[in-house]
Structure 1
Amino acid sequence: MGLVAEFDITCEALPLVSVAKAVPEAQLDLKIQYNHGNWPLFITYVTGGEQQGLERAFESSVFVADYTLVGQAGETRQYQTVPATSLEETLGDAIDDLDGLRALATTDALIERIQVTPTGWIQAGWFADRDAFDAFREFWQENAGFRLRRLTRDGEPEAPGEGLTDRQQEALRTAYEMGYFEIPRTASLEDVAAELGITASSLSERLRRAQTHVIETTVASTWPPLPD
């Protein structure tokens, strides 16, 4: 049985970390499209934040050669970013063992989520066994920074709230403490958003994502199939 892990990688040289640092109010999630030369194409999902500030950060990033806004749904904008530099040029000054980094691509693992933070990446994914997970853990411990958030066996149910981002947890906790979920409500969406320093629409989407995740990891998995 495989393992499911989520962990922080502290390395400011990783792609798009400078963008996350420039727009800390936005959440950046990545998907990687391989087979595009030295660096794959990056699909960047940006939730919240001010669009002009984000695009200025793209333009000032040494990693980004070009970017294109390819879609938008609510507060989430989808960009295709084309790298300007190779693997060696991007990480060469920060990581000595580039061969070890390339070797991770051959590990029996599947990284399913990458969130960019102002200090590095949060990665979550599936690993075939403990050896596959240890390859990631040992590499990042030796070359940058590593902090394990959770490690479970594939198929084990997550505890409620596991897998939520820090911002989602903060939004849920603040909304709860201010009385947003009480009946009747003692705080409005705008009240909670003002407390967090974000727009009401950004808060609404953040709460929806958090609530969807909690439902999917608790009651949704126990429901019987719908009848045909």
Structure 2
Amino acid sequence: MGLVAEFDIHCEHLPAVDAAASVPPATMVLELQFNHGNRPVFLLTVTGGSRDEIEAAIAGADDLTDCTLVGRAGDTRRYQTLPVYSLEEQLGPYLDDLSGLKALATADAIIERIEVTPDGWTQTGWFADRETFDEFRTFWQRNSGFRLRRLTRDGTPEPPGDGLTDRQDEALRTAYELGYFDIPRGASLEDVAAELDISASSVSERLRRAQTRLVEETVAPTWPPLLD
């Protein structure tokens, strides 16, 4: 039976990381279109943040070029952009084991989600067995940094929300219980922050990331992009 894993790769040299670091309030999810050779087209789904700041961050990134807005829905925008370098060219100077990186491309695994963070990627994927997962884990442990968030057996569909971190789940539940999502609103962001004993900006970020994840699991797979 296979495995489903979610993990952080701490490597600031990964594609689009510079862009994500320039707009930390936004959530940026990367899809790689591998049918375009060794420099796959990138699709970036960005939720939150200022449109001008997001597009300036993408345009200013040294590893991205030819950015085009292809669709939007609310505060979520989808961009198509091209990588300046192949993955080997971009990471080669910083990895001790470039052949190991190439081997991962042919492993029995499917990476279905990549969230770009200010210091690397958070990946969620399916792995044929523990040995295959260990190839990914040991490679990134040797070459950069790795932190496992979640590891489960496949075979049982997960209900929406299982991909949330514990802190995101706690923030979402607390906000709901206090009436933050009521109409009219029964609690402020500051009320939720006080209950969790963290800053209002931290609550805002956790709620935004949690809501983005829920939309991606339930709504996003079925919605057509709206032309700008």
TM-score, scaled to structure 2? 0.79
Which residue is equivalent to 1:226?
Answer: none
Map 1:33-182 to 2 at 5 A: 33-156=33-156, 158=158, 161-164=161-164, 168-169=168-169, 171-173=171-173, 175-176=175-176, 178-180=178-180
Amino acid at match of 1:80: Q
Structure 1: stretches of 5+ with no match in the other structure: 215-228
Compared with structure 1, are the counterparts of its residues 182 and 165 closer, same or farther at alpha carbon in structure 2 (3 Å cutoff)?
Answer: same
Q: In angstroms, what is the RMSD of aligned CA positions?
A: 3.4
Partner of 1:223: none
Aligned to 2:14: 14
Counterpart of 2:25 in structure 1: which amino acid? E
For the 8 Å contact 2:71–2:77, the answer to whether it is kept is yes
Q: Gapped runs of 5+ residues in structure 2?
A: 194-198, 219-228
2-structure distance, mates of 1:181, 1:59: 35
Residue correspondence of structure 1 range 205-224 to structure 2 within 5 A: 207=211, 209-210=213-214
- Distance, in Å, in 1 between the alignment partners of 2:36 and 2:215 is 36
8 Å contact kept, 2:169–2:210: no
Alpha-carbon distance, 1:96 to partner: 2.0
* Matched AA of 2:200: E
Letter in 1 for 2:97: D
Shift of 1:209: 4.8
Moved over 6 A (4+): 189-194
Provide the aligned length of Structure 1 versus Structure 2: 212
Separation (CA, whole Å) in 2 of partners of 1:147 and 1:120: 11
CA separation in 2, counterparts of 1:45 and 1:38?
A: 21
Are the equivalent residues in 1 in contact too, given 2:163–2:213 (CA < 8 A)?
A: no
**Structure 1 equivalent of residue 187 of structure 2:** 187
Letter in 2 for 1:51: R
The structure-2 alpha-carbon separation of the partners of 1:99 and 1:161, relative to structure 1 and needing over 3 Å to count, comes to same
Of the structure 1 ranges 163-172 and 62-71, higher mean CA displacement relative to structure 2 is found in 163-172
**SS of the residue aligned with 1:35?**
helix
Deviation at 1:36, TM superposition (A): 1.9
Question: In 2, distance between residues paired with 1:59 and 1:87?
Answer: 19
Matched, 1:4 2:19: no
Equivalent in the alignment of 2:196:
none
Is the 8 Å Cα contact of residues 7 and 122 (structure 1) preserved in structure 2? yes
Name the TM-score, length of structure 1 as normaliser. Answer: 0.79
Aligned residue number for residue 225 of structure 1? none
Match of 1:217 in 2: none
